[in-house]
Amino acid sequence: MVKKCMYCGANLPSEFMIMCPECQVKHREETLKRIDSKVRGYFICCPLCGNNEIKANYILGGRHTLTCENCGAQWHLHIGLRGFRWAELDVESKDGKGLELLGKRLEKDEWRKMALEIRKTLPHIPLPHMPMSHREEIKKEKDVEGKTVIIKEREIIKIRCPYCHRLYEETENKCPHCGGTH
């Protein structure tokens, strides 16, 4: 009996295989994209310096890492069968930030909280992984008794829900679409 690929139905060269080599490559690429999307939902920027340039290195069955291109901090990521669980700082930043966090395994939500806190202290820099249509700059002018009053300009940052993958404002505690929490 000839075994078929579970995705495309092609004949398999071995009875121990469940998918053909072409589908294995496609499945691996799709898996890595899903992992990257989830991880970047928590590491919206470097939690130590606030920079958006974070390089990811995912190795299926291996050690996953994130590296900040600006400060040089590096994290070991734990991604299991249930997805991204925690991260551990392996290398502190060049200027010594994060020294107290070295070797500590913190849940993904803790890293996200740190990233959001550091973003509040920095000038608003658009997040690179967020489409321009989801970043809105608000500037209102009011004419009060012949004077122009300018209301402070701010940026609305939207985050992607790790469950339904829809966007919502970071100020909300849970996704208004599915009720999932970040």
- Tokens (6 digits) for 23: 């589908």
Q: What is the pLDDT of residue 126?
A: 52
Q: From the CA atom positions of the chain, what is the Rg in Å?
A: 21
State residue 148's pLDDT score.
61
How many other C-beta atoms are found inside a 10 Å radius of the C-beta of residue 44?
24
The CA-atom distances, in angstroms, between 135 and each of 30, 79, 100, 124, 125 are: 27, 29, 34, 11, 10
Q: Label residue 63 by pLDDT band (50, 70, 90).
A: confident
Determine contact, residues 181/162, Cβ cutoff 8 Å: no
The string of pLDDT tens digits covering residues 128-140 is 444 443 334 434 4
Predicted TM-score of the model (pTM): 0.58
So what's the pLDDT on residue 75?
94
Residue 122 has pLDDT above 90, yes or no: no
Q: Delimit the domains of the chain by residue range.
A: 31-129, 133-182
The model's confidence at residue 146, banded by pLDDT at 50, 70 and 90, is low
How far from the centroid of its chain's Cα atoms is residue 62's Cα?
A: 19
Residue 124 has pLDDT above 70, yes or no: no
Residues 30-43: tens digit of each pLDDT:
888 888 888 988 99
**Amino acid present at 55:** K
Q: Determine the straight-line distance between the first and last CA of the chain, rounded to whole angstroms.
A: 48
